[in-house]
Structure 1
Amino acid sequence: MPAAPPTVKRRSPPPESPVAGLIARRRAREAAAERGVFGAAILLALTASGFAGYTLSQPARPYDVREVLPALAGPFAWKRTVAEARAPEPDLDPLVTGSLAETPTAPAAGPVAALPERTGPPPSSGFALRRAAAGQAVVEGRDGLHEIAVGSTLPGAGRVLSIRSTSAGWIVITTETIIGPTAL
């Protein structure tokens, strides 16, 4: 008789461990939570862009707060009309701060350095510096002597921005010119 083929005993797969099942379920929950958060973020983005598109596509309507507030909100002095407001003109002068008076006060008496006296009429530019100190000076113009200080206005030369000593001597810097002891 022929020999029977040897039978191979098949083994059943090892039973799944309880820990492996817990890990698989936890991963499935995390994936579902991530999909939910991602979907919520997309929904929020679409809602925000839809709201912006809606507000831009609507015509402008006047809004009156009196229609919204209840009558018991309190008495208000409502204006019937709004007056046209004129836009203020920009003042680009760096010295105007709102803390200085419009008309400059007389400079405080103090030591003033005397410059060499020059005889004859003032230079053709209009002004010559006669005496100077930090913050104040005496300038000669066609119409006579002017005591000036930083911030004051010199007729024909504008507002005085600075009175300073340089290596070449004292100078007065205004919004329109620079005044020195000689014609510049």
Structure 2
Amino acid sequence: MVDQNDVAGAPAPAGTAAVPDGAAPGQAKSQTRSKLAGLSGWPKLKTTTLAGLLCAGCVGALAGGATVALMGAVQGGGTGIPQAEWTRLSGRIEAGTAESARLATDLSLLRDRTIQAHDSADKGRAEAGARLGQVSERLERLQRQDGDLTAKVAALAERLTAMAERQDHADREQAARLAALMDKLDKRQGAVPVAAAPVVAPVAAAPVATPKPIAAEPALTGSLPDKPAAAKPATIEGWVLRDVYDGVAMIENRNRRLVEVGPGDTLPGAGRVEAIERRGRTWVVVTSKGVITAQAW
């Protein structure tokens, strides 16, 4: 048997917390809860981490409870505990204390890694947000450029449509004027009367007169120059006569431009209009540089 005084005076095993005399098991549990409460400042952990914390707390509570119960039994004068049992209990307490220290170290490492993971996640979210902001700005810039390009294309299409409409209108007007001019020419050609061929009356045979002798005229000693033929007026190129009505002439240039002229008017490249004459069955416009005829291009 072990003496109670020896047991009471023996030093506590290594790794065990010193418990004051008369301490109740409830006080040990409250101390354990206070130690666990010191970890409340840690970041929120996963379920496995919480389970590890609870296991460590349970081991510490059991070790503390066993120590308190043993010391209470020794101090209370209960039945003596053999040395072997005391050694066995001390070994268990030391093992529990070492396991608690290991769990505390693991929890500290897990806390540090969790903090690093949170920091990395925050950094990744910040970088992702920055990249998303850049992508959004690029998309907005592309949308603005697309809108500007669409507006420019629409304006160009409107201009082309307006030009096509003006060209069609000008073509229709030109076609209408040419059709009216051709109608006038057809009407004037139909209104010109065709002169009837003269009837040749039979001529009576004249009596043959006896020729009288003619005295010979003196021979001319010199020759007279021939009378020069009248120069034919030049035809003006670049203008053509289309119609004549009411004392004016309708002429056209190579650009399909119709112009009304009368005596006294001036034409570029043709000079001053002197007269509008009818020569044979056609009309001509006489200018200071030549004549404008109804020639075909």
**TM-score exceeds 0.5:** no
| Structure with max Cα Rg | 2
Query: What TM-score, normalized to structure 1?
Result: 0.31
Query: What TM-score, normalized to structure 2?
Result: 0.20
Higher strand share: 1
